[in-house]
Structure 1
Amino acid sequence: MAMQSPLDFSVDQKSKNLHLDYVDSINDANEKDQADYSGATAKTDPAEIRLVRKLDMRIMPIMWAMYFLNYIDRNAIANARLNGLEEDLGLVGTQYNTCISILFVGYLLMQIPSNMLMSSKKVRPSLYMSVCMGCWAVVSACTALTKNYVGLVAVRFFLGITEAPFYPGALFLLSLFYTRKEIALRISILYSGNIIATAVAGLIAAATFATLDHKHGLKGWQWLFIIEGAVTFGVAGLGVFMLPDHPLTTRWLTPEERQLAHDRIARDTVDSEESKGVLAGLNQAIRDPRLFLLAFMQNMHLSACGFNNFFPTVVGSLGFGDIITLVLTCPPYIVSGICCVVVGITSGRYNERTWHITFSMGMAVVGYIISCVTLNKGGRYLSCFLFASGAYAVNSVILGWVSATLGQTPEKKAASLSFINVVANASYIYTAYLYPKTDGPRYLTAMASNTAFGVATIASTWVLRWWLQSTNRKIRAGSIPGADTEVLYAY
């Protein structure tokens, strides 16, 4: 067997390197050919596909469970109302409505500081979010100990503070690990936890009231808060081990997976900028005018979803008894959850937002109008399916759009998501007063307002689409210095 000279080896190695460079250039060209209008490409690397599958299996189940319980605990008060909460605590007039809205005062105060803290890398998100969950579990369970209006207001305020870090924090974590084409589906899966929670909350409450009311000296609504708080506290312990931290510091990823998780998001970021700290990220977000349009859009969307805290009351306007009413709240939310995931899948697959929001909110508007114009039981119950499915389906699309449009740095992304969530959730403070008992059974003021909110959501969507199209034209023309002409804004 002939010995290979060093010169031959060098030539062979150069040939191999040239071959690899040639293959890489072909792959890059193929990726460009497969890229859509915004430069986003589908996954083809087996390692990346395995990584995303691993992320899905570890992140999504625990986040879904946490968000499910987040809404179970928050909205238990709506079902407790049907078991005599108002009478037992002596609530009169709009005091119940104030107990609903006060939660969002605490909720709004903590969101931006919480996400800034998470993006600073001074805390482990997995530990931080799990501790916050344990705290809200305890506060929620303490609702069973309240004796009057003042006590209920205090508990609801602190429940808002302790629940505040979870949802904007979850959105931020998802945006750190999933690309523009992937994130809408993941947010829709996460948001289905909210929808399914609202769907089954009535069933859980009905079972609790039927079996535990007046047992051991406690009313059914008190048992409801105790049981749900205890389950939430248990799940919080699992979050410490299952939630991720940042891509380069997540303990259950291998070193190679951590680097790949970081690199693929960096490649997918439009108009990427160098990170300059938490306060700089907040400043970047505030100085971007698109932030305020997206905040208005999400505020209008959540204003149109204000029926959430009053859904048992709205369904109760059909004239059935308490148990039947609680059971009837379930089917519209089951259908809503399915629609939410379907919209998330198609929005991600086609990297499209505008038409998805337009058709979904359009369906919701039709539902609101039906609810305004008829007292027919069948028609009103059908309207519940239409407005719940259409309105809820929009959430993941808008929030995915925020991440894709305002994600130039992790700090800006975190600040943008929390700011928009704050502005959007402020809607629950005033929408709580759109459903006074005196407006039943039609709730004309609320449903007419929801119609207007839905139309405003659609209008702002088209304004943003035209804005981003104009920006993309400037990027292609080289009018925006330093912008990557191959990675454009998605609309």
Structure 2
Amino acid sequence: MYFLNFVDRNAIAQARLNGLEDDLGMSGSEFNTAVSILNVGYILMQIPSNMLITRVKPGACISGWMLLWAGISGCTAAAKTYGGLVACRFFLGIAEAPFYPGATYILSIFYTHNELATRVSLMCCGQLLATAFAGLISAGVFAGMDGLRGLAGWQWLFVLDGAATAVVAMLGFWLPPNTPRSTRWLNEEEGELAEARMKRDRIGDALDKATAWEGLKQACKDGRTWLFCFMQMFHLSACAFNTFFPTVVETLGFDITTTLLLTCPPFVVAGIGSVVVGWSSGKLDDRTWHITAWLLVAVAGFVLAVSTLDTAVRYVACFIFSVGAFSVNAIIVGWASSTLSQTEEKKAVVLAMTNVLGHIGQIYGAYLWPKSDGPRYGIGFGASAGFALLSVCCAWVVRAWLIRENKRICASTSEPVNLHSY
């Protein structure tokens, strides 16, 4: 489901290489606006959807939204003007918004804080593999279907992506889990076990059950929420190259088909790295040092990419900054979930809020990669390096805060408690 979430969202990046801008009469920064506007719709829907998800069956909920975005994605092929494309992108953002925070919420009610990062990183492989294989899919569609039945290759791409998403969405009404007690393929004993595991994992400052609005208030009043929000915002700002990756690879000087094929390997490696780093973080019960180390790897890749136009060196840099930047996403999400899970309602809102502020970075990040700045793209790579360093700073502030909280919890109780991890 997450694979298709990103395939549909980023199809515009491949469509650009097949004449999308020319066919719709686009010029200047209009493509950047079409990329950016999706995040506006995405931001508007995230918090309301995750306030609702604790009151419905979450698996069925995200499947319903998936069916809606499948239809909108397919309809993008019918866009005849720049305005039509922008409208489709805005509503696609609204429809796609509930999936990621909803899916991470589902994982967070089944897996403990030491297990969560690995599971989220496995799910996030869907995003990375989508970016990797979208180029292969697009290359095949553009080569074999461009002009078929009067439709351009980029139009066929949107139609086929939407159709595949609709099929998976229908299966999603039966297959995903809901809560431990309401998942159809868990028996009563298994549901009790899953629920008991999570109760034992609750941290020392756990609260009683709350309403959806109380969960929103709890999240907003907790200063740690905002630190995680800014950490994720800076991190995703550093990852804004994702949508423009085919454009960056195009600067290597190959034809369109080869360019699309070359976008695949860096993200396959990034997917493997994400799982390994997520597993290592949970195994060692460490968050700060993992985030620091891998975002510094990303910074090194950004610096290398902007410092040369040599084809081989620049392509190696694509591997380095992709692995470094994307390896920490699951750690940040899992860290926020386990730290701010005093109630299920608060946790659901926190997951949405971190993603909301994260995607604010994607709105302005789209304008950091103007075509006029090519082929070096110094603005985009330089800003990405700076955002990565700011995310690292946020991680260390959170670490210091949690160390202080752990000391307070230990001093106030004689009972054994699960303390915040950092």
Q: Quick one: which amino acid aligns to residue 201 of structure 1?
A: A
Aligned to 2:57: 124
- Aligned mates of 1:483, 1:252 — CA distance in 2: 40
Structure 1 position 442 matched with structure 2 position 376: yes
Structure 1 position 364 matched with structure 2 position 302: no
Give the deviation of 1:251 after TM superposition. 2.0
Point out the more displaced range, 263-272 or 413-422.
Answer: 263-272
Counterparts in 2 of 1:43-442, with a 5 A limit?
66-119=1-54, 121=55, 123-270=56-203, 271-442=205-376
Aligned length: 421
The secondary structure found in structure 2 opposite 1:433 is helix
Q: Quick one: which amino acid aligns to residue 292 of structure 1?
A: W
Give the deviation of 1:483 after TM superposition. 8.9
Give the deviation of 1:330 after TM superposition. 0.6
Give the deviation of 1:485 after TM superposition. 4.3
Show CA shifts across 1:343-396 (max 9, x none).
011111111111111111010000011112112112111111111000000000
Checking the alignment, whether the CA contact within 8 Å between 1:100 and 1:432 is kept in structure 2 is yes
After superposing on structure 2, the runs of 4+ consecutive aligned residues of structure 1 that deviate more than 2 Å are 482-486
The secondary structure found in structure 2 opposite 1:273 is coil
Show CA shifts across 1:248-288 (max 9, x none).
22222111111111111111011211012111111111111
- Aligned mates of 2:410, 2:21 — CA distance in 1: 60
Checking the alignment, whether the CA contact within 8 Å between 1:475 and 1:484 is kept in structure 2 is no
Structure 1 position 490 matched with structure 2 position 421: yes
- Aligned mates of 1:152, 1:309 — CA distance in 2: 16
- Aligned mates of 1:154, 1:392 — CA distance in 2: 29
Assess, with a 3 A threshold, how the Cα gap between structure 1 residues 373 and 260 changes in structure 2: closer, same or farther.
same
Q: Quick one: which amino acid aligns to residue 377 of structure 2?
A: Y
Give the deviation of 1:486 after TM superposition. 2.6
- Aligned mates of 1:221, 1:135 — CA distance in 2: 21
Q: Quick one: which amino acid aligns to residue 80 of structure 1?
A: A
- Aligned mates of 1:261, 1:111 — CA distance in 2: 27
Q: Quick one: which amino acid aligns to residue 112 of structure 2?
A: T
- Aligned mates of 1:174, 1:485 — CA distance in 2: 26
Aligned to 1:22: none
Aligned to 1:57: none
Which consecutive unaligned segments of at least 5 residues does structure 1 have?
1-65
Show CA shifts across 1:71-109 (max 9, x none).
000000000000000000001111111110111111110
Aligned to 1:46: none
Checking the alignment, whether the CA contact within 8 Å between 1:475 and 1:483 is kept in structure 2 is no
Assess, with a 3 A threshold, how the Cα gap between structure 1 residues 103 and 483 changes in structure 2: closer, same or farther.
farther
The secondary structure found in structure 2 opposite 1:75 is helix
Identical aligned residues as a percent: 52
- Aligned mates of 2:47, 2:417 — CA distance in 1: 32
Aligned to 1:55: none
Point out the more displaced range, 422-431 or 254-263.
Answer: 254-263
- Aligned mates of 1:408, 1:145 — CA distance in 2: 46
Checking the alignment, whether the CA contact within 8 Å between 1:364 and 1:388 is kept in structure 2 is yes
Point out the more displaced range, 241-250 or 166-175.
Answer: 241-250
The secondary structure found in structure 1 opposite 2:196 is helix
| Alignment equivalent of 2:388, drawn from 448, 451, 454 | 454
Give the deviation of 1:125 after TM superposition. 1.5
Larger Rg: 1 or 2? 1
- Aligned mates of 2:182, 2:169 — CA distance in 1: 21
Q: Aligned-pair RMSD on alpha carbons?
A: 1.0
Assess, with a 3 A threshold, how the Cα gap between structure 1 residues 68 and 483 changes in structure 2: closer, same or farther.
farther
- Aligned mates of 1:231, 1:157 — CA distance in 2: 21
Q: Quick one: which amino acid aligns to residue 393 of structure 1?
A: S
- Aligned mates of 2:171, 2:290 — CA distance in 1: 35
Aligned to 1:4: none
Which consecutive unaligned segments of at least 5 residues does structure 2 have?
none
TM-score, structure 1 as length reference: 0.85
Give the deviation of 1:127 after TM superposition. 1.7
